[in-house]
Amino acid sequence: MSDTGHDVEQLRHELRQQTEAKGDGAACYRVETLWESATGRLARAENRAVVLHIAACASCATAWELARELAPAGEVAERAPATSWRRWVPAVAAAVLLAAVALWLWKPAEVREPIYRDTSGDWIVSELKADRSLERNDCTLRWSAGPEGTTYDVRVTTADLTPVAQGLDLSEPSFRVDPSSLASVSPGEVILWRVTARLPDGRKTASITFRTRVE
Amino acid sequence: MAASARNPNLGSVAKVLSDDEVAELRRRVVDAVSRVCPAWLAGQAEDIAHNALLQLLESLSRRGGNRTFSSIYLRKAAHGATVDEIRRRVRRRESALETSAGVEQTRSAQPDPERAGAGREIGKAIVDCLEELIVPRRLAVTLVLRGGTVPEAARRLGWSLKRTEHLAYRGLADLRQCLSGKGWTP
């Protein structure tokens, strides 16, 4: 079979136009699991579950393809193919003998379930006016609050990603950047900041990166 | 601001990394992101790099000691930050019913929205038809359609080349038949 025939290429192309997840699109694998699958490091059963998922989920399929492209050449682990049934006779015999023992000890193998896509980070929004600059002597970043008991980390960098400041374990949804930390930030320059929230139930979620101009 | 801020300014990271080391790490992160970031997300590459860098600095703060990151570690960080952004976009589109941000939009430089819309329709039909394939065929065809060769699919699935070839061949035939039934002819 020619697996790079014209119609297969066309099917690949058309498939990439499909960007919606099937069903409610909520159940997705962790990015680490997709990476492991794409680089051939997952156990066989779980790998097949991931492939079945990417058959229907466009965003996971994209993530999987990116990981596949990023993996160093030859990194995809070899899996032993199935061989002649004669080779399996000793193993099958041993398995039959062990089956009785296994019945006593058997419990379902642990299969990692897809995690639910974390949508909670979208609630973290900047409460600074988009067109408003902050004075460096009163550079207080503010964002929407989570449920009671949420704590926040905020990290601030310049536009070229040089770290400027960070606040950890904040109990309030605001952070004042010390003016001395802004010494390397020129007047009118944009700083980037991102909030990570730890919810009372232990979940952790991150905001998008916000931009704020500092005078 | 909360009184519980235990390190309001970048003390721990600054102690662990010198300015030169931060600059070098930033350069490597930007490079890693540029390798993984699809063309259609190029406008967000800076944000993605920012997020990846912050995650690395956070990791560095936690683990202390080892101040170096292997290139594969940086690739994984860049990949993770990129996928976060992709999922964020998908969520936004799902909630706002945006129609213009297709995954392949700029990769294939589709100039014609009508054609792109038709492409998404065919893509949806392909996904629907894939779901109708028996599982072994679906596995083989999915890997082939996601850019792999049959030998690569065989390696990934732990099957012999012959078996994988057969499943992919039959699966693609089923897929074409299903698409024809839906009015699409690839």
Would you tell me which residues 20-59 of chain B have a C-beta closer than 8 angstroms to some C-beta of chain A? 22-23, 26, 29-30, 35-36, 38, 46-47, 49-51, 53-54, 57-58
On chain A, the residues whose CB falls within 8 A of the CB of B49 are 161
Distance from CA of B64 to the nearest CA of A (A): 16
Confidence class of residue B125 from pLDDT cuts 50, 70 and 90? confident
On chain A, the residues whose CB falls within 8 A of the CB of B1 are 140, 167, 170, 172, 174-176
Q: Minimum mean pLDDT among A37-41, B15-19, B24-28, B73-77: which range?
A: B15-19
Just give the CATH number of B113-181: 1.10.10.10
Q: Which ipTM was obtained for this model?
A: 0.74
Nearest Cα residue in chain A from B151: A3
Cα gap A183→A158, rounded to integer Å: 11
Q: Mean pLDDT of all residues in chain A?
A: 76
| Among candidate residues B119, B41, B110, the one with its CA nearest the CA of residue A19 | B119
Please tell me which residue, B154 or B72, carries the higher pLDDT value.
B154
pLDDT for residue A114 is more than 50: no
pLDDT at A112: 42
- For residues B33-49, give the mean pLDDT: 86
A195, B64 contact by CB (below 8 A): no
Cα gap B2→A150, rounded to integer Å: 12
| Among candidate residues B74, B147, B161, B33, the one with its CA nearest the CA of residue A51 | B147
On chain B, the residues whose CB falls within 8 A of the CB of A170 are 1-2, 4-5
pLDDT at B157: 92
Please tell me which residue, B24 or B90, carries the higher pLDDT value.
B24
CB atoms within 10 A of CB B95: 10
Would you tell me which residues 121-140 of chain B have a C-beta closer than 8 angstroms to some C-beta of chain A? 122-124, 126-127, 130-131, 135, 138-139
- For residues A34-58, give the mean pLDDT: 90
Please tell me which residue, B170 or B110, carries the higher pLDDT value.
B170
pLDDT at A101: 60
Indicate the pTM of the whole model: 0.63
pLDDT for residue B129 is more than 80: yes
Tell me the domain boundaries of chain B.
3-103, 113-181
| Among the partner residues A34, A62, A79, nearest to B158 by beta-carbon distance | A79
B102 contacts A17? CB cut-off 8 A: yes
Confidence class of residue B143 from pLDDT cuts 50, 70 and 90? very high
Confidence class of residue A125 from pLDDT cuts 50, 70 and 90? confident
pLDDT for residue A80 is more than 90: no
In chain A, % of residues over pLDDT 70? 70
pLDDT at A115: 39
Could you give phi then psi for residue A134, rounded to 5 degrees?
Answer: -105, 145
The answer to whether B5 faces chain A, any CB pair under 8 Å, is: yes
pLDDT at B99: 45
DSSP string, chain A: --TT-HHHHHHHHHHHH--PPSTTS-EE--HHHHHHHHTT-S-HHHHHHHHHHHHH-HHHHHHHHHHHHHSPTT-SPP-PPP--GGGGHHHHHHHHHHHHHHHHH--PPP-PPPEEP--GGGG--B-S-TT--B-GGGEEEEB---STT-EEEEEEEETT--EEEEEEEESSSEEEEPGGGGGGSPTTEEEEEEEEEE-TTS-EEE---EEEEE-
A168 contacts B6? CB cut-off 8 A: yes
pLDDT for residue A10 is more than 60: yes
Confidence class of residue A11 from pLDDT cuts 50, 70 and 90? confident
pLDDT at B67: 66
